[in-house]
Amino acid sequence: MTSPVQALVLVGGKGTRLRPLTLSAPKPMLPTAGAPFLTHLLSRIREAGITDVVLGTSYQAQVFADHYGDGADLGLNLTYVTEDVPLGTGGGIRNVYDALTADTVLVFNGDVLGGTDIRDVLDTHQKSGAEVTLHLVRVGDPRAFGCVPTDADGRVTAFLEKTQDPPTNQINAGTYVFNRSVIGEIPAGRAVSVEREVFPSLLAQGRHIHAHVDDAYWRDMGTPEDFVRGSADLVRGIAPSPAVAKPCGESLVLEGAQVAADAVLIGGTVVGRGARIGSGARLDGAVVFDGAGVEAGAVVERSIIGFDAVIGSHALVRDTVVGDGAKVGARCELLRGARVWPGVELPDNGIRFSTDV
């Protein structure tokens, strides 16, 4: 017996904007508020009553299967389909066609943190009679995104590239509902863009593409800044997730972590399993991965500290990514988007870095 709706989550990207963290793990598997980021999305899918999920993998594909297995721990039935070469969003959707058994397929980009009730998007698709439905969100400044205008009935009329004078504040939120038959029309075996090829082609044919538009929480987690903010929003309850039992306040300290009594943890900080936070340390909007250490008097703001990395005493780390196993020396300053690569050891000399090291 097949399910009436399947979900497809595209998790094949290399996550280059989050390097060096994604050298050791795919972006959707990076820890976010106590769980791999993908777990928050899978939990939302399950909450919507959808249990049959296909993961479209490519980069480090085995990591997903090793962690989730058949999906039973999340109440899901997971199927894995791997791309041998990157195929883009449209090509990735087409690549899983043979694994799709439902007539209605919900497609998610695996790097988006959202708060929309998935059932509402499905309801819009079913009531409109569309062949494809797009979830659009309204944003305050749409200039950094492609815009998607709609008519008075909610039908999509165009897909526009980034512009300094956008005609609408509606942007593509990276969630789609496809009739399975439409997926079968996407060219197979090559890279295809849904935004630049699939959707414009359907519109040119006069096909019905509808929009579900709302103001729900939405964030693309592809950059260090957005990853930090998204993690903090999950901790503070601003971004909803069934994988977070309840809002945690200003910080989330996971099992086995050791935090000095006089350390300050604010801004939605996460301290990973087995991590160590020293006396007088101050963490504001920090994401500290499992096994990492922040020594006495150090300050970490809006930064990600990789697995088993160490921040030396009285160091200042701000708007920075520190790779797995790296060691930042005492009194060092890391500022303005610096990235410390895995295993690098910075000396105890108080040098300031604002570039990659």
Give pLDDT tens digits for 204-225. 999 999 999 998 999 989 899 9
Residues 6+ apart with CB under 8 A from 236: 247, 248, 249, 250, 268
Give pLDDT tens digits for 289-311. 999 999 999 999 999 999 999 99
Least confident of 96-100, 202-206, 240-244, 310-314: 240-244
Q: Dig out the tokens for 37 from the structure.
A: 């980021």
Residue 16: pLDDT band with limits 50, 70, 90: confident
Q: Give the per-residue pLDDT at 3.
A: 60
Question: In angstroms, rounded to a whole number, what is the distance separating the alpha carbons of residues 298 and 340?
Answer: 16
Q: Give the per-residue pLDDT at 160.
A: 84
Q: At what angle do helices 37-47 and 118-128 cross, to 10 degrees?
A: 50
Q: How far is CA 251 from CA 149, 200, 231, 268, in A?
A: 39, 44, 10, 5
Mean local confidence (pLDDT), 29-46:
94
8 Å CB contact between 302 and 319: yes
Q: Give the per-residue pLDDT at 247.
A: 72
Give pLDDT tens digits for 129-176. 999 999 999 988 888 887 899 999 999 998 887 778 888 889 889 899
**Which backbone phi and psi does 22 adopt, to 5 degrees?**
-85, 10
Closest CA to 116 of 189, 54, 55, 173: 173
* Position 1 pLDDT exceeds 60: no
Model confidence, pTM: 0.90
Q: Indicate the residue type of 33.
A: A
Residues 6+ apart with CB under 8 A from 315: 295, 298, 299, 328, 329, 330, 331, 332, 333, 334
**Which backbone phi and psi does 343 adopt, to 5 degrees?**
80, -5
Q: Give the per-residue pLDDT at 2.
A: 47
CA 93 to the chain's CA centroid? 18
